Amino acid sequence: MGNKMKYYVILIVLLPLIVFAQDYEAKSGSKRMRIVKNPPIVNFEVSYNKPVSNNILKAGEINDFVISITNKGTGVAKDVYIDLTSTDFDRSVLKVVYTTKIGDVLAGETKDVTIPFTVSPDLNKPVNGMLKFKLTEKGEYDLTEKYFPIKIIPSTEQMAYEEEIILNSDVDKNIPITPYKRPNAIAVILTVSRYANKDIPPVKFAKHDGKALREYLIKTFGYDPDNILPKNENELITYGNMKNYIKNVLPNYIRQDGSSEIFIYFAGHGAPSVNNKKAYFVPYDADPNFVSDDNAYSMDAFYDDISALKASKKIVVIDACFSGSTGEGEVLVKDASSVLLDVDESIGTSIDDTNNIVMRSSTGQQVSNWYPEKNHSMFTYYLLKGLQGAADLNQDGTITLGEMKSFINHQDNGLPGMARRKYGRKQTPVISGDDNNVLVRLR
């Protein structure tokens, strides 16, 4: 009887602790679970933001996973995270945020979460695999998981467009090789030749322009190839990538004593905002009809970011027009009047320092023409021709900014004359900086 009384006393003491306990950890194998009085019961479904047939993704595709999370339990799922893992897809093939914080999911609540992803455009063979979606509380307590089959295939259209770049015009041959080396010089070459939105015309010669310019930077300017970014010339220049290279990657390459020289080149579409008349660079994943600070890099923000960099010399070359048209005169911005497409030239037009150089292929209202016979844009062709030696007007082996400006902008023998004869329209490059500033020494 005495022993029974002891058991009753122990039970009476422990029962409230068991009944009212809220959290404790249970382990089963490798799994960890947070056991609660009123547990959450979490389920989720995975779909796509844009239609995908049979879970087959194409190289170069940009889309979003849509995760619909429902808590059918009676308790709160606390501090929920979703993790993506795969042993089949290398992170360079499927670029996605692999950990996303969801927050609390209340009892009876459904939350939809969007996770953007990009498929590499460089895929040359199909890849099959599983992507594992796992939900946890606080990143450690298991809730539920699901395996999601995906097949990624090369895009024949993209593979055809991304054929090997053959540089064979006159400016691609006999590139001057100088003895000068610039180990502290860093370049960022951003080229956007095609767009996620297939309705946007490609920039036919952007990759050729960037490829040739790399050769000049290495052979003529003396840049170290390892200091030319991106390392992968075929990397997609999305909005995030473009800002990341300028705001985060480039500063890490610059010497802290300010002795570095930086060279930044952009070739692709530009577009005006019909709302604020600001000029925007159009990255791979943006639509020229709806450019804003949320999806495209404005020229004034770009110049602000470049101005903030501590460097001995800055050279910025922009081969893009911001008139809402392409190099062949096609309209980028649909159903907008020419009045709305006027870019305010006072917004973001220079970097305030006499030791800096800014070159733009045209004014805000003009079209930056292409030069199909040379396999380049017209502006980059004349820039390279000048660097090849044609801009050394006094034949002293040194090309100054003033000489390059005179060569490119010659009304008859330069770009304006060629644009007028070939297309019947004006194109006047805008080149700013001290005319005595030395661009390159050829000997």
| Residue 101 or 1, more confident | 101
Q: How far apart are CA 220 and CA 182, in angstroms?
A: 10
Rounded to two decimals, what is the model's pTM?
A: 0.64
Q: Which of 24-33, 198-207, 279-288, 349-358 has the lowest mean pLDDT?
A: 24-33
Closest among 194, 195, 196, 264 to 229, alpha carbons compared: 264
For residues 378 and 344, which has the higher predicted lDDT (pLDDT)? Answer: 378
pLDDT digit string (tens) for 74-97? 999 999 999 999 888 887 788 888
| pLDDT, tens only, 173-222 | 999 999 999 999 999 999 999 888 877 888 889 999 999 999 999 999 99
- Across the range 122-129, mean pLDDT stands at 81
At 405, is the pLDDT very low, low, confident or very high (cuts 50, 70, 90)?
very high
Element (H, E) at 390: none
* CATH number for the domain running over 29-156: 2.60.40.10
Which residues, in sequence order, are CB contacts of 38 under 8 Å at separation 6+? 73, 74, 75, 107
3-state secondary structure of 45: strand
Q: Look at residue 353 in the predicted model and tell me its pLDDT.
A: 60
Task: Report which secondary-structure segment, H or E, holds 212.
Answer: helix 206-216
Residue 258, classified by CB atoms within 10 Å of its CB into exposed (0-12), middle (13-18) or buried (19+), is exposed
- Cβ–Cβ < 8 Å for 398, 356: no
Convert the pLDDT of each residue in 220-274 to its tens digit: 999 999 999 999 888 889 888 899 999 999 999 999 999 999 999 999 988 887 6
Amino acid identity of 437?
A: N
* Residue-level pLDDT at 216: 98
Q: Which of 37-41, 314-318, 339-343 has the lowest mean pLDDT?
A: 339-343
Please name the fold of domain 164-441.
Rossmann fold (3.40.50)
Average pLDDT over residues 97-112: 92
> For residue 28, is pLDDT > 60?
no
Identity of residue 397: G
Q: What percent of the chain shows pLDDT beyond 70?
A: 81
- Report the candidate in 149, 163, 260, 268 with the shortest Cα–Cα distance to residue 206: 268
Distance CA 430, CA 57 (A): 42
Q: Where are the domains of the chain?
A: 29-156, 164-441
Q: What is the mean pLDDT of the chain?
A: 83
Give dist(CA 95, CA 97) in Å, integer. Answer: 7
Nearest to 360 by CA among 338, 341, 383: 383
Q: How many residues does the chain have?
A: 443
Domains 29-156 and 164-441 share a fold: no
Q: Please tell me the predicted confidence (pLDDT) of residue 16.
A: 47
Q: Are 90 and 122 in contact (CB under 8 A)?
A: no
